[in-house]
A and B are shown apart, each in its own frame.
Chain A
């Protein structure tokens, strides 16, 4: 147990220490902030899809619920501390998540995956339709309030980075704990064989709804980070189906049913487009327009997904595990030969 905790703790300490050294705000704004928000969303989706086996194509809807709930709570309830706002936004998302999770009690597999699209379209439509959600702003755009807690402001890029990092660390630790106790084993039993799980006495109904609730909670909080810490200005159309797919791709590429995978996948998905646009500038002298670049990105990401599914079904997490095992063996061999 202590060994498995050592690495994440080390990584976290490193992240806190290194964040100021990133120096340029660009690295924080373009990589660190979206990376943290998407990682958390992927941790949430992984709980549902990787651990419980319920594929959801509507994650972006829950990002949106988290973001808009936090916006409204902050706007309409005065003097509410920031952590409470975030927790309540997560709970709002969890409540809606349980509602859209109800079909999972009767539907399985593809039928369920398609039914989660209902959440995607309904939420996006409702946020656009009812101006109350965005306080009557034009086309549903909301601006994030100042991030402030106990008289400390987190408005600078570095502050937002620390803020995101802390939220992500706390929630990831909770999810990690959840999947290593009985509830988590129930999730996996439902995933591996629902009928068999029911027969040996796993409370399938409770496991599924818990998974939907906790997953939506985590994704909702990720939505708060996405809207308040990363973009600062969001509109409902930003939480579209492509965003849902993006989060699902992070989970697939990173690795289903590992927490580490969510972070590795998010890193790849965030960095890949930046790398591609840099690379395309070098040989073609900026001759590729933004539209084609977008299409090239699509092709590359699509190919990466298929490549991973075929060659490394366990995703980036398995690659890093093997690399560290290999490094460990080599080190031991070197030590022995001396």
Chain B
């Protein structure tokens, strides 16, 4: 078996895996934004992604030019983000994180149901003008679509890291995340910071929604993309933007390898749980995660 090992195919898998992993990272970044500023694992990120993609497709199908549709969807996502922050999270301020998480589960149901009540549950095709044709790079076939998606993900991550590390506003965001009370005491306007974080998360949901929608078709399934992003988050740490992209690449690569090389033994469908097992195995060896710092706990 080792003798006829197909190296070119192996390299293709090894390149294609991380590239599709970048798509997971794109979703994961939206989670990190909210977690970093308010300590909430926002389960509604997937439904928000579905909502953005569904609204965009429906507007375009009704004859709106795509630029106008983008503006309308972004405005809508902004309003939704603000509404969530005002009506749900502010009323639950200072409650345990797990309660906030459960509230986002409720939000997920509302957004998911609302999106499909508004626009219907049928499947829409979405063309964003990037074809899924394979490109030949030194004899290795790479999907053009994957390259564009990975490029966008890289760009977004770089921009966000730059924002958090090198701007005053980013510093304020990090302060709010580290200690809300202390941040408020030195005069940072927490409500405004949280609102901005939700708007940014809405924007990443839009980008991720369009890319995933173009790949899979815009439909109910899209909101389950969160389930692909969660192992990425566990691996990279919920609060690390860099971790999201590194975790995404690792999950993408191992998942593809497992799908290709474990399929003969376990059959198809392995990719549904494999990423979770990888993330769990990794955490059992190194509980602090890939890039996470261990927080000191006070009693």
Binding site for B on A (CB under 8 A): 53, 55, 102-103, 106-107, 109-111, 113-115, 117-118, 121-122, 124-125, 128-129, 193, 195-196, 199, 241, 245, 248-249, 252, 291-292, 294-299, 301-306, 309-310, 313
Contact = CB atoms under 8 A, between A and B. Distances in A.
A55 B98 contact: yes
Interface residues of B, number: 45
Given A295-B113, A309-B92, A125 B269 contact: yes
Contacts of B269: 125, 128-129
Contact of A299 (B117, B270, B272): B117
A313 B99 CA distance: 9
Given A128-B269, A313-B95, A195 B299 contact: yes
Contact of A310 (B92, B266, B280, B297): B92
Contact of B234 (A111, A248, A292, A299): A111
B103 A121 contact: no
B97 interface: yes
A199 B299 CA distance: 10
A117 B101 contact: no
Interface stretch (B64-72, B104-112, B144-152, B173-181): B104-112
Interface stretch (B132-140, B205-213, B225-233): B225-233
Interface string B88-128: 10011001011101110111111111101100010000000
Given A115-B279, A297-B113, A298-B110, A306 B103 contact: yes
A25 to B, nearest CB: 31
27 contacts: A55-B98, A102-B284, A103-B280, A107-B287, A114-B231, A115-B280, A117-B227, A117-B230, A117-B276, A121-B273, A122-B273, A122-B277, A125-B270, A195-B299, A252-B102, A291-B121, A294-B113, A295-B113, A298-B109, A298-B110, A302-B108, A303-B106, A303-B110, A309-B99, A309-B103, A309-B106, A310-B103
Contacts of B273: 118, 121-122, 125
A55 B104 CA distance: 14
B75 interface: no
A103 B279 CA distance: 11
B205 to A, nearest CB: 17
Nearest to A100: B280
A79 B283 CA distance: 45
Contacts of A199: 299
A299 B276 contact: no
B41 interface: yes
Contacts of A305: 102-103, 105-106, 109
B238 interface: yes
A245 B105 contact: yes
Contacts of A121: 227, 272-273, 276
Contacts of A103: 280, 283-284
Contact of B101 (A110, A195, A249): A110
A306 B106 contact: yes
Nearest to A300: B113
A35 B209 CA distance: 37
Interface string B263-283: 000110110110011011001
B95 A295 contact: no
Given A115-B276, A115-B279, 19 more contacts: A55-B101, A106-B287, A114-B231, A117-B230, A118-B276, A118-B280, A121-B272, A122-B276, A122-B277, A129-B266, A129-B269, A248-B105, A291-B121, A298-B109, A299-B117, A302-B108, A304-B106, A305-B105, A309-B106
Contacts of B267: 129
Shortest beta-carbon contacts, A-B, top 5: A302-B109, A298-B113, A305-B106, A118-B276, A302-B110
A292 B117 contact: yes
Interface in B194-239: 227, 230-231, 233-234, 238
Nearest to B35: A110
B283 A295 contact: no
Nearest to B224: A241
A107 B116 CA distance: 36
Contacts of A292: 117
A301 B105 CA distance: 10
Given A111-B283, A195-B297, A305-B105, A125 B114 contact: no
Contacts of A102: 284
Contacts of B238: 110-111
A299 B109 contact: yes
A245 B112 CA distance: 14
A295 B121 contact: yes
B147 to A, nearest CB: 29
A298 B118 CA distance: 13
A53 to B, nearest CB: 8
A302 B109 CA distance: 5
